[in-house]
Amino acid sequence: MRKLKDRFTDESRFWVIFDTCQLSSYYQDLHNLLALPPGAIIRYDYRAKYIADSAIPTVKGNGVAPRYVLLVYAQWENYTRGAGLDYKPLQGERVFVTATRIARMRLIPNIGGDGYAFDLELEGYPKFADDTVRSIWQKLAKSKEIPWFKWVTICNLTNHFDALKSGQGADNWAVIVERLGAAPSQFASDVFWRLASPLRDGKKIIVPTFETQGATESGGIRQVSFSYPLAEGHSAEFEVFSHGAHKAKRRLRVSVVEGGSLEYNGPPDIDLRYDAATRTVVRGQRAETVDDRFGLLTLDSGEPVDDWPVGPRLTLQFKIFKSKWAGVISLILLLLAVVLGFAAKDVWKASVGWGIATVVGAAACIVIAFLLLTRKIVVKL
Residues 168 and 34 placed together within one structural domain of the fold: yes
What's the pLDDT score for residue 315? 97
Question: Mapping DSSP to helix (H, G, I), strand (E, B) and coil, where does residue 277 land?
Answer: strand
The count of structural domains within the chain is 3
pLDDT, one tens digit per residue, over 182-206 is 999 999 989 999 999 999 999 999 9
- pLDDT > 90? residue 38: yes
Mean pLDDT computed over 250-270: 91
Q: Name the most confidently modeled range: 266-270, 272-276, 356-360.
A: 266-270
Residues 128 and 160 placed together within one structural domain of the fold: yes
Mean pLDDT computed over 240-258: 79
Residues 236 and 149 placed together within one structural domain of the fold: no
- Helices 324-350, 352-373: inter-axial angle, 10-degree rounding: 170
Please report, for the domain that includes residue 271, its CATH number.
2.60.40.10
Q: What is the pTM of this model?
A: 0.84
Among candidate residues 284, 304, 321, the one where a domain is terminated: 321
Residues 128 and 267 placed together within one structural domain of the fold: no
Among candidate residues 321, 340, 358, the one where a domain is terminated: 321
Query: Which letter, b or e, does each residue of 312-333 get, where b requires 16 or more Cβ atoms within 10 Å of its Cβ?
Result: bbbebebbbbbbeebeebbeeb
| 297 torsion bin: left (phi>0), alpha (psi -120 to 50), beta (else) | beta
Residues 92 and 162 placed together within one structural domain of the fold: yes
Q: Which domain holds residue 233?
A: 198-210+226-321
What's the pLDDT score for residue 2? 39
